[in-house]
Structures are given as structure tokens and as C-alpha cells.
Amino acid sequence: MANDQAPLGSMRADQVADSGIRRLTPGDLPRVMELERLGHSHPWTEGIFRDCFKDSYRVWAYVSENELVGYTIISYQFDEAHLLNVCVHPTVRGMGVGRKLLQHAIAVAVEDDLACMILEVRKSNRAATLLYRSEGFKQIGVRPKYYPGPSGGEDARVMELQFT
Ligand SMILES: CC(C)(COP(=O)(O)OP(=O)(O)OC[C@H]1O[C@@H](n2cnc3c(N)ncnc32)[C@H](O)[C@@H]1OP(=O)(O)O)[C@@H](O)C(=O)NCCC(=O)NCCS
């Protein structure tokens, strides 16, 4: 079943329409690639995003005045939601878009009966780490040299939010 037609989706997508969150679609990818290149030192390729339009993923866009200004990509594996990417256009950072996307992804994962959300974040990424902590995520480990970067790579914090 295409992601657009997932049974849990259409009602919820309508409910959040006013808040500016809707499903990401393949038609959004040119704009997503623009944001991705602005947001990450090692951006995903378009092919990676294309692989995320599957049943086992939840992909959300934040739209403001008809323009996509943020997105998040979540993969479902067993009872875990894995937050793989969240990115907000630099001109609207600090205005609550990242938090709204994260809260929406968590709310949907809870509705989908998952047990927790996990993610990796660069140790140097203070803004994202503070966002995750403020939503209740706890650090549960470190993956050494998980991210590409100077001096052989950068460690990732592994963070988790238990839903119950
Ligand atoms: C991380 C990111 C998604 C946050 O999105 P945002 O829309 O700017 O965040 P919000 O406005 O919702 O802020 C939520 C919280 O994040 C933290 N935060 C956001 N920007 C911050 C900054 N510049 N410095 C410190 N904390 C910051 C704060 O805790 C903030 O809560 P507060 O406003 O109550 O203080 C955004 O900075 C981004 O796109 N960064 C580049 C991509 C990236 O690093 N993604 C995450 C790793 S995959």
C-alpha cells in the first residue's frame, strides 16, 4: 500500500491540516533537497529520500504559506519508531517548527501502538539535542564515530523516548 493510502493516515492528516503538517510526497523532493543541503553537512541523496516512501515509514512536511519549510522522516522497525531526519529551513528556525514536527511524529507513533522512539544525534548538535531533551528523550548510549566528519568522524548520542 502506498504511504499516501495508509489506513491510519488520511483522518489524522486532515486533523492536523490547520497546524501546517501534512504527509511528505515525492513531489516535495526538489524543495526537500534544497532544505537538506542547507541543513546538513552530509546531506542525504534524493535516492535515500525516495526509499522512505514505504509503508514502514512515516514522512511529514511542515508547510507555511504554501511553502514547505520543514520535514521529518521516521522509520518503523518492530515496536520502535526511529527518527532518521528532521530539518527546518534556516530562515524559520527557532520558531517552533522542529518541535511541532517532532511532537506530531511522536503522537502518530503512539497512535500506531509503538513502544518508543529512538534517534541518533551528533554530539556537537546542541540545538537538536536540547529539542529532544525538552521533549523527554534520554541519552541511552553513544555510537563512536557514527557520523562522517573531520578527524575520522563524530560520535552520535543515541537517545530514546519511551511512550509508557
Ligand atoms: C534541530 C532543528 C530541526 C530544530 O528546529 P527548530 O524549528 O529551529 O526548533 P524549534 O524552534 O522547534 O525549537 C525547539 C527547541 O530546540 C532547541 N533549540 C532550537 N534552536 C536552538 C538553538 N539555536 N540553540 C539552542 N537550542 C535550540 C530549544 O530547546 C528549543 O526550545 P525553546 O524554543 O523552548 O528554547 C533545526 O535547528 C535544524 O533543522 N537543524 C539542521 C538539521 C539538524 O541538525 N537536524 C537534527 C539532526 S537529524
Give the CATH number for residue 103.
3.40.630.30
Higher local confidence (pLDDT), 112 or 164: 112
At 94-113, the pLDDT tens digits run 999 999 999 999 999 999 99
Dist CA 18 CA 147 (whole Å): 36
Instruction: Specify the residue with its C-alpha closest to ligand 1, atom 41.
Output: 39
- Residue 32's nearest CA partner among 66, 72, 4, 65 is 72
SS3 94: coil
Q: How far is the CA of 14 from the centre of ligand 1 (A)?
A: 26
103 lies in a domain? yes
Which atom number of ligand 1 is nearest to the Cα of residue 38? 41
**Mean pLDDT for all residues in the chain:** 89
Which atom of ligand 1 is nearest the CA belonging to 130?
Answer: 29
- Over residues 51-56, the mean pLDDT reads 97
Task: Write the CA distances from 121 to 3, 57, 97, 124, integer angstroms.
Answer: 26, 19, 18, 8
Domain contains 162: no
Task: Assess whether pLDDT exceeds 80 at residue 50.
Answer: yes
Q: Which of 63, 75, 88, 133 to mutate to test the pocket of ligand 1 (most atoms within 8 A of CB)?
A: 88
Q: Tell me what pLDDT residue 66 has.
A: 87
Residue 85 in contact with residue 121, Cβ under 8 Å? no
Cβ–ligand 1 contact at 38 (below 6 Å): no
pLDDT computed for residue 19 by the predictor: 54
> What helix, strand, coil percent values describe the chain, rounded to 5?
35, 35, 30
Answer whether residue 146 is part of any domain: no
CB 35 within 8 Å of CB 89: yes
Return d(Cα 97, Cα 28) in angstroms, integer: 17
18 domain-assigned: yes
Could you list the residue range(s) of the whole structural domain that residue 106 is in? Answer: 3-117
Which cell numbers hold the place of 71?
520535514
Q: How many independent structural domains does the chain possess? A: 1
What atom of ligand 1 comes closest to residue 133's alpha carbon? 29
